[in-house]
Amino acid sequence: MRRRVLHTPPACCRLLVVPVAYICNPSSPQASSSTRRTHSMSLDRHHLHHAVGALLSAALLLSAAALPGAMAEEETEEESEFSYVPGAPNGPDRWGEINASWATCSDGQMQSPIDLSHDNATLVRSLGYLNYTYRPTNASVVNRGHDIMLNFTGDAGSLVINGTAYYLKQLHWHTPSEHRVGGRRYDMELHLVHVHEAAAGEELEQPAVAVVSVLYEKSLISVLLPDPFLKTLEPAIRRVRDIRGREEPVGVVDPDGATATGSVYYRYMGSLTTPPCTEGVVWTVFQNPRRVAGYQLELLKEAVVDGYEKNARPLQDVNDRDISIFRPIKRSVYVE
């Protein structure tokens, strides 16, 4: 397991005024030295998998024991009930009407995704570098119908926000990107989904889900510069193509290979971007995109079930939410 040295942020913290929790990352004993990772951000056998695929992925995102109230609701696996087609009876603007438990999709005030920019964000250097430690572990590629997911079946590591550990459970892709930066929509967006697992009897004061978003930009010389992390998963993605619920074990995968480039990120409180659109999710969206080959974009689009090639939820209202941006201090080098 590789480690990076953590640049411990100052012992101060900015409270974002939201009804759920702090979304900052103050100094803590847990945020010390070399144990942390700094982001200078970075079917016969298949019949069985088909039968249990939904059960596996339903357990990924949320642990009911760990979630307060509405957060006990999971990201839906019933993708046939909703679509991404604007104006359709089950399209994004109607998600809240399809199922009573999805009402938050329509009437929530802290929905995701949103447009992020320097104009609507406040610089908060006390957030510090993203503090994570990821580990290589066994994983499986799962076709959930509406997206392709990499499900970690072992301990994939964690990140720490505001002194709370969130454990990496899965990652998945959206094409095109759901979040925008300065009005720009990117070619793809990766979500690394982390869950805070409460101890028995513990009452959570922090959000239970934290998502790290990595944006992708199509490479101008795409054939020569494919994304190396996706490259290792291409055979499995092809094998689960167009088969909802199909799962393909891929052995040991290092999630560190999927992390963002650069260290500038936005932080805000939002929601899941698919039904039930549960709120209280801590979002970390990195500003600098990774590069991805055009054929890799098409592979992910073609692998999902027909009708979900474009699986990005439209932008949601910011509603005066506080949005922070972390940008490290530029250090000048003087030569005598």
Query: Of 146, 172, 191, 194, which one is the catalytic site residue?
Result: 146
Tell me how far apart the alpha carbons of residues 131 and 116 are, in angstroms, rounded to a whole number. 22
Integer-rounded Cα Rg, in Å, for the chain is 19
Per the DSSP assignment, residues forming a β-bridge with 176 are none
Closest to 248 (Cα-Cα) out of 154, 151, 169, 122: 151
Please say if 146 is a catalytic residue: yes
Q: Quick one: tokens of 188?
A: 């793809």
Q: Which residues are catalytic?
A: 146
